[in-house]
Amino acid sequence: MQVKTWLHRLTDESNLWFKAVKAEDEGSFENAVWYYMKDALECIKKHSLVRAALSSSCAANCLAKMGAWSPARVLYSEAAGIYVENSEVAMSKSIREAMWSLQEAFENYMLAGDSAADTVRERYSAIAARTSPFSRAEQAAEKLESRRPETIKPDPKEKEARIPDRLAREIENFVRARKSGSARTQSFDPSYVMRSINMNGGSKLDEKSIAS
C-alpha cells in the first residue's frame, strides 16, 4: 500500500485544492470557484482555518474576475473573519502567526470594503505595541497600512455578472457553516489576547512559541 506524502496530496488530481488551482490557471473561473468553495467547506468542518480562509479568498478573486462583485465581497469578508478567528486561536502558541493572521484579515476586509478592517488594525497595533518594547501603535498601524489593497471597485458602466445557481448554493452552504460553527469569530475577546502578554510589554509565552 502506497503512503501519500503531503506533496502527493497537494498534487493529487482528486484533491479539491489542486483542481481549483488548475481550473483557475486555465481561466475556468466558474469551476475554480466551485472547487475552492468545496475545499473551504471541508476545511471549516475539519477546523483547518488558514486553508479555509485561503480557499475563500481565492474563490473571491475568481468571482471578481468574473465580474460578480457582490459574492466576491461576501467571501473576502468571510475569509477575513476566519483569519481573525485563527489569530485568537494562534495567540496561545505563536504571536507571530496571530499577527500574520490579522494582517491577512485586514487585507481581506479592505478588499471587501468592510469597515471591520479598522477594528483589525486597532487590534494589530495594540498587540504589536504590547509585545515589543521598540514598537509603537502608530508604527504598527503604518506598517499595516502599507499592505492596504485597493477595495473592489466595479466599473459603473458594466452590469454585475450573475453567478450560476450551483455556485450560489456552495457559497450559501459555506456561509451557513461559518455562522453555525464560528461564534468566537463574531465575538473576538481582546482580553483573551492580552492575557498572553505581561504588563511589561513582553509575552507570557515561551521563546519557542514566539519564534514559531
Please, are residues 34 and 22 in contact by the beta-carbon 8 Å criterion? no
Determine the pLDDT at residue 207: 34
Over residues 123-131, mean pLDDT: 81
Determine the pLDDT at residue 57: 97
Determine the pLDDT at residue 70: 94
Non-local (6+) Cβ contacts of 38 within 8 A are: 16, 170
**Averaged pLDDT of the chain:** 79
CATH number of the domain enclosing 146: 1.25.40
**For 163-189, what is each residue's pLDDT tens digit?**
999 999 999 999 999 988 754 444 444
Over residues 205-212, mean pLDDT: 35
Determine the pLDDT at residue 100: 93
Over residues 114-129, mean pLDDT: 88
Determine the pLDDT at residue 142: 62
21 inside domain? yes
Q: Is pLDDT of 203 > 60? A: no
32 inside domain? yes
7 inside domain? no
159 inside domain? no
Determine the pLDDT at residue 110: 92
Q: Is pLDDT of 119 > 70? A: yes
Domain range spanning residue 131? 13-150+164-186
Determine the pLDDT at residue 206: 37
- Within 10 A of 178 (CB to CB), how many other CB atoms are there? 20
0.85 exceeded by pTM: no
Determine the pLDDT at residue 193: 45
22 inside domain? yes
Domain count across the chain:
1
Determine the pLDDT at residue 4: 54
3 inside domain? no
Lowest mean pLDDT among 57-66, 69-78, 172-181: 172-181
Q: Which residue has the higher pLDDT, 91 or 38?
A: 38
d(CA 196, CA 68): 41
Over residues 128-149, mean pLDDT: 63
107 inside domain? yes
198 inside domain? no
| Cα 12 versus chain centre, distance | 24
Secondary structure class of 32 (helix, strand, coil)? helix
